[in-house]
Amino acid sequence: MYSGELEVQAKRKALAVLQDEINRILNAGRVLSTLPKMLVKKDKAGIKTALEQIASIEDEVENLRRKITRDVADVGGLILNRDNILNTAYTMDEISGYITGISFKLSNIKVSTIKTSNLDKDLTELIELVVDEIYKLNEIIRSLNVDSTKAVELAQETQKIERDIDTKYRTMSITALNDISDTKELLLMKDVIEAIEEILQEKGTQLQGQTNKTRNEFYETIRLKIGQIESDLAGVRAGMETKQATVKRLQPIMQELPSKMQKAYQLQREQMVLEGQYKALNEKLVQATVSMTTAQSAPSAIRIVDQAYAPDKPAWPNTKLMLLVAMFFGVVLGVICALGLDLIFVRVNRYKLYNHKQYQLFAVLENDEAFVDNVYQLKK
């Protein structure tokens, strides 16, 4: 919560207490306005009740003044110019004391003095003007939280009431001086009239000025608060524009997000499969490591009989034997091949020449007498 907002709340609370305080004063003024008629009627019970009510209201106003003093002290420096609120509370407390003093002095004036030149009616009218003035002040305090224009209008109306009170005060003062012969009664009546007039001329004017000053400070705080809110709102709007640009930039990425999520899901499944394979291989590795460790720690079943060494000559192949075998098979195969070829190719050639129809065999150029004799005998 902003400090300006806390100040507004604290001032609203203080103005509420001030309004409650002035309501009590308004009630006391209304009770005071009935006192002259009761005096004329000699209503002792009513007079006693009225005096008790006014005294009780004074106590209530004093308690409210103490409460607002404690409240303002609790918030400390949170309320700017808090002295104006305290002065207003003390002024209303003094007005309540004035009303109590007026009621006491008025109750001690003789009925004959009050009836002189209709002073009882003039007193009632003067007190009613005071009540009307207090009522306007109450409406001013009430309008501080609602409508400042109405507060200004009410302040103008209070000025008119003050002029009427001045006129009534002068008239009653002259009437009392001319028609009241008893000095004691004249002094009491003069004190009552002056006290009533002083409530409005001094305390009322002071209260109105302090109230207007409090109102101006209140609305100045509201104005500063509005300015702060507007500044924050501008910052929020700028942030929204930045976020909207970010959203616009991320929209293509968001459109590709489903396919990427599906691919990520597939990769996640592949990862799970690979993790399972890794886990299985890791278990096999652990088992192999355990087996190898066990084998290394177990006693060996192999015994070395003789140490290995490099021979002086190769055990295989036997070069001499291989040469002899190769020579033997070479000679045998050569003779067989030569004889076979000689037999096969010589007979074939002679046979072809001998049986050839076009060309007869005339001679055989070969040192083979048996073959020639045989051919020659066949010719014969």
Mind giving me the DSSP string for 329-365? HHHHHHHHHHHHHHHHHHHHHHHHHHH-SSS------
Torsion, Cα of 276, 279, 280, 282 (10° steps): 160
Here the tokens at position 102 are 């007026």
Q: Are 154 and 140 in contact (CB under 8 A)?
A: yes
Q: What is the pLDDT along the chain (380 residues), one digit of tens a residue?
A: 445 556 667 667 777 787 788 888 888 888 888 888 888 888 889 888 988 998 999 898 888 888 888 877 776 555 555 676 777 778 788 888 888 888 888 888 888 888 776 787 888 888 888 788 777 776 776 665 555 566 666 666 777 777 888 888 888 888 888 888 888 888 888 888 888 877 766 555 555 554 555 555 555 555 666 677 777 778 888 888 888 888 888 888 878 878 888 888 888 888 888 888 888 888 888 888 888 877 777 665 666 677 777 777 766 667 777 888 888 888 888 888 877 776 665 444 555 555 555 555 555 555 556 665 665 555 44
Q: Are 57 and 25 in contact (CB under 8 A)?
A: yes
Q: d(Cα 274, Cα 230) in Å, to the nearest integer?
A: 58
- 299 preceded by a cis bond (ω within 30 of 0): no
Q: d(Cα 262, Cα 48) in Å, to the nearest integer?
A: 92
Q: d(Cα 58, Cα 96) in Å, to the nearest integer?
A: 5
Instruction: Give CATH for domain 3-241.
Output: 1.20.58.220
CATH 1.20.58.220 domain locations along the chain:
3-241
Q: d(Cα 141, Cα 262) in Å, to the nearest integer?
A: 68
Greatest Cα pair distance, the chain, in angstroms, is 218
Q: d(Cα 85, Cα 93) in Å, to the nearest integer?
A: 13
Q: d(Cα 181, Cα 119) in Å, to the nearest integer?
A: 14
Here the tokens at position 138 are 């109450």
